[in-house]
Amino acid sequence: MFIKHIVVGALALTALSGCSDNSSSSTSPSITTSVPKIDQSVSSVDVTNVIQVGKDYHSFANPESIKVTHLNLDLTVDFTNKVLVGTAQLDFQRVEENATQLILDTRDLTIDSVTAMGEAVNFDLAKTDSFLGAGLTIDIPADADSVVISYQTSPKASGVQWLTPEQTAGKKHPFLFTQAQAIHARSFIPLQDSPQVRMTYQATIRTPKELLAVMSASNEPDTPRDGVYQFSMPEPIPAYLIALAVGDLHFKPMGERTGVYSEKGILDAAAAEFSDTESMLIATEKTFGPYSWERYDLLILPPSFPFGGMENPRLSFITPTVIAGDKSLVALIAHELAHSWSGNTVTNATWRDLWLNEGFTTYLTYRIMQMIYGDERFEMEAVLGRQDLQADIDSLPANDQIMAIDLRGRDPDDVFSNIPYEKGALFLRELEHKVGRENFDQFLLGYFEYFAFKSITTDQFIRYLEQTLLKEYSAKLSKQRIEQWIFQPGIPEGAPVPESDAFSVVDQARNDWLAGKIQANEIDSEKWVVHQWLYFLNNMPEKLSQEKLADLDKTFTLTNSKNNEIAHSWLLISVKNWYQPAFKRLHDYLTSIGRNKLVKPLYKALSQTPKGKIMAQKAFAEAKAGYHPLTVKANEGFVL
């Protein structure tokens, strides 16, 4: 059924019911002179089928009556049983004076006891919902302002991956990492797992002595390896940014404020690949305002990490699949760094508002890449991003093309697409073009400052826009156009069109080769960069003959490409055209990489034919034990 977005218009005035910020622990933002105060009036409207603005449909928590402000974790990492065991102390504040119950999110947790002021208190763990987990309701004594929960995780916790020594690069020690976004923090900590609840945190993590623990918090590279590690995150962050990794980790500095953690074997390669991180940090600060998190380090994970990167504050988690040897895939670093502003400092209040995180971040990513690597790189990446967006526009149902997407009743993991990313970025580029880059940069600077350490809804963003850019540039911008971008499917007519001269030669070469005018070895590709290769491959027709494929492969050794993105594009073409010489590489690829963006399209393409499905089943069966729970969940449907 098509659910109409009645939410625009009258309801757009509905503010978050007072839970958008954690005033106790966040400093109130200094308001720049040009920015007027924004109406935050509250009205709660609940009409059937109308999205309640600011309501988090993916959390059982009750921050509108009691909100958690600080977490103190004490966890032991038990690699033998694949569990985290310990306590979570939650400090809270009553929003409603007489509130008597604290409601938390959990998933597959065993709750041993809950105490307040040293005494056991009653708690009730509700029935489990298939993707939301189970609400945990705790009775709170009138004078308590914190509870301590003793618990342990399940070995199948959706937000934790336990790797055996064989699944690591060094093969000697086990490895553990968490991935909390969107709603998996609850699978390793009982908490209010909603992005509109921000908390500071402290943690004590107990590990086998020879391993090092790191978190999205203060990390001490030179800390003695004694198996007990202390962390503190003094800025209030949402639960989805809490992260932990444990392994045989080593550290290498890259700059004054930047460095890299990884297993020893890839440390030097990672530090070389990402050596521009410090420059990116400096350039971003200069344009978009001060970096709020002190250090910016990278943690390079084993290849099973299900994402390209995750913006865990102070310590982005990064897939090793982008270590290409030539910095060709470092836009990922720019992206995770940019989240330090858009996402970690200004945060989406609900998962419907994800585009505020990812769209702004994608826009900033392009800008950072332009500042560090120049116009040509920027233009090529913008064209490739636009093409990814078009592929989704062409294949997704209309409702899923809406930036402020209705996620009620849906698992956020199932709705991952380019819409919040590339459509969001294209929208911001249009605003930039209309008001001019300098003015738009001023706007962004003010936005990050105004909403610093707040979680905001799409509707709050629109109101802010109305009182800033829309007012100042009323001749150039209209609210109607902005609402079209945010609440309608498709791409508005007249949207910016990214172009790259560097791709014209590629189009020419591809066309000539396809028309049979030239052989592959006559393509003048010596100077082509990775982006040109991607553009060359991604724009091939669906069907290519075996001769054509062999000609390409023989000339450019594509099956053996060391660049994981090029290999991905080539393997996808190979599956669609049943080009068997690539199938051994395909199998190796699927069984050694767990990054969903790279493996899912391959499984999907394989699943389209009976013999493809058999190959998919074989690879999946072999790889499954080493895949992250999210990668298993995203792909198991293709091998049934």
Residues with a catalytic annotation lie at 336, 421
Q: Which of 75, 104, 182, 639 binds ligand BES (CB under 6 A)?
A: 182
The stretch among 48-56, 264-272, 309-317, 631-639 that binds ligand BES (CB under 6 A) is 309-317
The stretch among 87-95, 269-277, 335-343, 496-504 that binds ligand BES (CB under 6 A) is 335-343
Residue 384 touches which of Zn ion, ligand BES, none (Cβ within 5-8 Å per kind): none
Residue 181 touches which of Zn ion, ligand BES, none (Cβ within 5-8 Å per kind): ligand BES
Question: What is the nearest approach in angstroms of Zn ion to the Cβ of residue 374?
Answer: 23
Tell me: does residue 311 bind ligand BES (CB under 6 A): yes
Q: Could you say which DSSP state residue 638 is in?
A: G
For residues 15 and 40, is the Cβ–Cβ distance under 8 A?
A: yes
Which tokens go with 103? 């409601």
With 0-12 / 13-18 / 19 or more C-beta atoms within 10 angstroms meaning exposed / middle / buried, residue 471 is exposed
Tell me: does residue 336 bind ligand BES (CB under 6 A): yes
How far, in whole angstroms, is CA 303 from its chain's centroid?
17
Which C-beta is closer to ligand BES: that of 190 or that of 195? 195
The stretch among 208-216, 265-273, 303-311, 372-380 that binds ligand BES (CB under 6 A) is 303-311
Q: Which of 135, 309, 320, 446 binds ligand BES (CB under 6 A)?
A: 309
How far, in whole angstroms, is CA 621 from its chain's centroid?
27
Tell me: does residue 312 bind ligand BES (CB under 6 A): no
CA distance linking residue 50 with residue 6, whole number of Å: 6
Question: What is the nearest approach in angstroms of ligand BES to the Cβ of residue 294?
Answer: 20
Tell me: does residue 308 bind ligand BES (CB under 6 A): yes
Which C-beta is closer to ligand BES: that of 62 or that of 161? 161
Total interface residues for ligand BES by CB under 6 A: 15
The stretch among 266-274, 333-341, 558-566, 577-585 that binds ligand BES (CB under 6 A) is 333-341
Which C-beta is closer to ligand BES: that of 138 or that of 384? 384
Which C-beta is closer to ligand BES: that of 276 or that of 358? 358
Of 75, 149, 141, the residue nearest 111 (C-alpha): 149
Question: What is the nearest approach in angstroms of ligand BES to the Cβ of residue 309?
Answer: 5
Which C-beta is closer to ligand BES: that of 331 or that of 405? 331
Which tokens go with 329? 């895939």
Tell me: does residue 367 bind ligand BES (CB under 6 A): no
Which C-beta is closer to ligand BES: that of 92 or that of 360? 360
Which tokens go with 555? 């000339």
CA distance linking residue 493 with residue 446, whole number of Å: 29
The residue of the chain with the least Cβ separation from ligand BES equals 308
For residues 313 and 233, is the Cβ–Cβ distance under 8 A?
A: yes
Which tokens go with 51? 């999205």
Residue 345 touches which of Zn ion, ligand BES, none (Cβ within 5-8 Å per kind): none
Question: What is the nearest approach in angstroms of ligand BES to the Cβ of residue 311?
Answer: 5
Q: Could you say which DSSP state residue 107 is in?
A: S
Tell me: does residue 332 bind ligand BES (CB under 6 A): yes
Residue in this structure with the two tokens 């618990």, named with its chain if needed = 151
Question: What is the nearest approach in angstroms of ligand BES to the Cβ of residue 533?
Answer: 18
- The secondary structure element, H or E, covering residue 564 is helix 564-576
Which tokens go with 445? 């600077």
CA distance linking residue 329 with residue 333, whole number of Å: 8
The stretch among 36-44, 137-145, 259-267, 301-309 that binds ligand BES (CB under 6 A) is 301-309
Tell me: does residue 385 bind ligand BES (CB under 6 A): no
Residue in this structure with the two tokens 């928590």, named with its chain if needed = 61
SS (H, E, C) 358-381: HHHHHHHHHHHHHHHHCHHHHHHH
Question: What is the nearest approach in angstroms of ligand BES to the Cβ of residue 181?
Answer: 4
CA distance linking residue 274 with residue 231, whole number of Å: 25
Tell me: does residue 597 bind ligand BES (CB under 6 A): yes
Q: Which of 358, 381, 406, 430 binds ligand BES (CB under 6 A)?
A: 358
Where along the sequence are the contacts to Zn ion (CB under 5 A)? 358, 361
Q: Residues 452 to 491: which contact ligand BES by CB under 6 A?
A: none
Query: Any idea of the CA torsion for 75, 76, 77, 79, to the nearest 10 degrees?
Result: -150
CA distance linking residue 170 with residue 4, whole number of Å: 53
The stretch among 327-335, 376-384, 401-409, 609-617 that binds ligand BES (CB under 6 A) is 327-335
CA distance linking residue 524 with residue 176, whole number of Å: 46
For residues 222 and 259, is the Cβ–Cβ distance under 8 A?
A: no
Which C-beta is closer to ligand BES: that of 102 or that of 602? 602
Tell me: does residue 56 bind ligand BES (CB under 6 A): no
The stretch among 154-162, 204-212, 275-283, 332-340 that binds ligand BES (CB under 6 A) is 332-340
Tell me: does residue 181 bind ligand BES (CB under 6 A): yes
For residues 36 and 472, is the Cβ–Cβ distance under 8 A?
A: no
CA distance linking residue 149 with residue 607, whole number of Å: 44
Which C-beta is closer to ligand BES: that of 53 or that of 310? 310
Which tokens go with 43? 């009205």
x/- map, 76-115, ligand BES, by CB under 6 A = ----------------------------------------
Residue 78 touches which of ligand BES, Zn ion, none (Cβ within 5-8 Å per kind): none
DSSP secondary structure of 603-629: HHHHTTSHHHHHHHHHHHHHHGGGS-H
Of 342, 350, 345, 347, the residue nearest 7 (C-alpha): 350
* Sign of the alpha-carbon torsion through 341, 329, 370, 256: positive
- Residues paired with 137 in a beta bridge: 103, 124
Query: Any idea of the CA torsion for 609, 614, 616, 619, to the nearest 10 degrees?
Result: -160
Residue 310 touches which of ligand BES, Zn ion, none (Cβ within 5-8 Å per kind): ligand BES
- The secondary structure element, H or E, covering residue 238 is strand 228-238
Q: Which of 198, 314, 335, 454 binds ligand BES (CB under 6 A)?
A: 335
CA distance linking residue 247 with residue 165, whole number of Å: 10
Which C-beta is closer to Zn ion: that of 303 or that of 343? 343
The stretch among 15-23, 78-86, 307-315, 401-409 that binds ligand BES (CB under 6 A) is 307-315
Tell me: does residue 565 bind ligand BES (CB under 6 A): no
Strand order in the sheet with 175-178: 160-163, 175-178, 244-247, 212-215
Q: Which stretches of the chain bind ligand BES, using CB under 6 A?
A: 181-182, 307-311, 331-332, 335-336, 339, 358, 421, 597
